[in-house]
Structure 1
Amino acid sequence: MRDAIPARVKLEVTLCFLSSGISYRLLAIFFRISKSSISKFIPEVCDVMYEALDEYLQVPDNREWEDIQVGFHHRWNFPGCCGAIDGKHVVIQAPPNCGSEYYNYKGTNSLVLLAVVDHDYCFKYVDIGSYGRNSDGGVFQAFSLYPVLENGSLLPEGGFLVGDDAFPLKTYLLKRYPNEPTIVEKIYNYRFTRARRIVENAFGILVSRFRVLALPIQLQEETAIKMIRTTCVLHNWLRKSSLHTYTPPGSIDYEDIVNFTTNLGTWRSEINALPSIARSRINNR
């Protein structure tokens, strides 16, 4: 009878999978553990990690929302903002007999990760599992926080989120001015872009650090959702506990205040350096 796999080894295997995205087959070779054992314990370890770190991914209370507003005001000169919202398609293998439900506008099958991000690139709420064929706006209407946003009980009075053109304009959800704006509207658009760029960078850092999200995932939907959720809470924990190791200077977009330009973060080149989705996949059958 084989010895039980130590918890430390299970954690190492799971973190290796999340950070690299290599297949269960290769993990089995590297760690000398059966593929069937790996497929069983990785979802379990993801559950344990999420439960251990769930304090890092909680819906803010009123005081925490106000702290986030202060952060957006001081760092991004956008007072009143409680977060930036956006959706990301995580490419998966479509479940059997699902038709076109997961088929998105990019021509792949995906689950949608919808997230609200604070002024410091941390996820404050994530909603995972909407079908890829839905637009950000459609996913937003199915968002579990949508009812409390609509009735005004979630955010502080006057608080709002910022989103791109895929989202509907609401009193609590602001967008850019379209077309050719006035000088005042241009200033607003400039500040808006700085605030909304936060969520783009948060997703970019997440994918560049947890490369399992950058490749097509061939796992059961339930396992894929657990995995995505765990990467989000790990992202927040690492932002709080190992800031300069996890996101060293230059990894996130930053402004050159002398030349009035935006320098792109290194996460962009790191993601571009990943193998093409057309040539690579995480096949865990």
Structure 2
Amino acid sequence: MPESFDELLNLVEPIIRKQETNFRKPISSTIRLLITLRYLASGDLMSSLAMSYRLGKSTVSGIIQDTCQAIWEVLQHRVLFQPSQQGWKKIVDGFFRRWNFPHCIGAIDGKHVVIQAPPHAGSTFYNYKGQHSIVLIAVVSASYEFLMVDIGAQGRHNDGGIFKGSIMGQRFENKQMELPPPCPLSNCSISVPYMLVADAAFQLNEYTLRPYPGNRLNKTREIFNYRLSRARRVVENAFGIMTKENAAAIENIRSVGSNTHSRLAAEFRDTFAQYFVEEGSVPWQDMR
């Protein structure tokens, strides 16, 4: 919408505006933003954009890079979630009300974003699908809102500690996310931390829940896996919404962490599982 464009232009214009010199008139901030938004929205080739705007390909490349950086600088604090205990509790409330999952601070997943390999990159970005990619990891709220993202891990890192090694993962690991203190689930006596919900690609630890492995599980573990899947599918849906016009641009990741876990992390998962078959049970979990 024109109003949204004008609002964004007002925000980035002081950063992307170029001074006029005696030798040439600079490309206007409006054109710079138009080129960037068209590139981001359509995925059009830079050579095509260069022809459309009668500019050099290297000029278009520089405009897009500078304007994307400006957009990130002005919008990250407006759009992305800023960790605080009060903010996390709102996220937790959303997951409990909409998906019947307590103590959930977000659903996390990662995708390979297909890219054209940079010059001289070799196999640095070459992933297990035979494509070149970077990894996008995102935490999503109960209402499909992207809360936090980590972008840029090289595609060849299929099964290392991508999440744990990221800035986001390090902040969780070092207890720098301003999470509310652990407390019991309803009437249980064990205090459990507030946790992310994830699929089997992620490591079970003291801030991330993953499903029980295996096909022959007891009823309690089957119900836990079902309830976990129901809560974490919001992140899959969020990625689907984001890429509905170009679903082939992203691919699932395989493993982003070790399968090993501490006894304490296993106890937390068991506590959630027991809660779901006792005071946290819902009538429809046995009818799926």
TM-score scaled by structure 2? 0.67
* 8 Å contact kept, 1:21–1:212: no
Query: Would the alpha carbon gap of residues 148 and 133 (structure 1) be closer, same or farther in structure 2, given more than 3 Å must change?
Result: same
* Matched AA of 2:225: N
* Matched AA of 1:175: R
**Cα shift readout 1:221-263 (whole Å, capped 9, x = no counterpart):** xxxxxxxxxxxxxxxxxxxxxxxxxxxxxxxxxxxx9xx99xx
Structural mapping, 1:129-208, within 5 Å? 129-135=152-158, 138-154=161-177, 155-156=179-180, 157=182, 158-178=193-213, 179-208=215-244
What's the CA shift for 1:176?
1.5
CA RMSD of aligned residues (A): 2.7
* Matched AA of 1:24: M
* 8 Å contact kept, 2:135–2:151: yes
d(CA) in 2 for partners of 1:81 and 1:104? Answer: 31
Structural mapping, 1:211-226, within 5 Å? 211=246, 214=249
Larger Rg: 2
Query: Would the alpha carbon gap of residues 114 and 143 (structure 1) be closer, same or farther in structure 2, given more than 3 Å must change?
Result: same
d(CA) in 2 for partners of 1:212 and 1:3? Answer: 40
Residue aligning to 1:22: 44
What's the CA shift for 1:42?
1.0
d(CA) in 2 for partners of 1:7 and 1:212? Answer: 31
Which residues of structure 2 form unaligned runs of 5+?
1-22, 183-192, 251-283
Instruction: Name the SS for the 2:58 alignment partner.
Output: helix
4+ runs deviating over 4 angstroms: none
* Matched AA of 1:22: D
Alignment pair present for 1:80 and 2:108:
no
Alignment pair present for 1:9 and 2:45:
no
d(CA) in 1 for partners of 2:50 and 2:125? Answer: 30
What's the CA shift for 1:136?
5.6
Deviation larger for 60-69 or 176-185: 176-185
d(CA) in 2 for partners of 1:180 and 1:90? Answer: 34
What's the CA shift for 1:96?
4.2
Deviation larger for 91-100 or 71-80: 91-100
**Cα shift readout 1:103-129 (whole Å, capped 9, x = no counterpart):** 211111211111211222222221122
Deviation larger for 126-135 or 15-24: 126-135
Seq. identity, %? 46
Deviation larger for 188-197 or 32-41: 32-41
What's the CA shift for 1:25?
1.6
Instruction: Name the SS for the 2:167 alignment partner.
Output: coil
Greater relative CO (CA pairs within 8 A, separation 6+): 1
* Aligned counterpart for 1:46 among listed residues 57, 68, 77: 68
TM-score scaled by structure 1? 0.68
d(CA) in 2 for partners of 1:136 and 1:46? Answer: 29
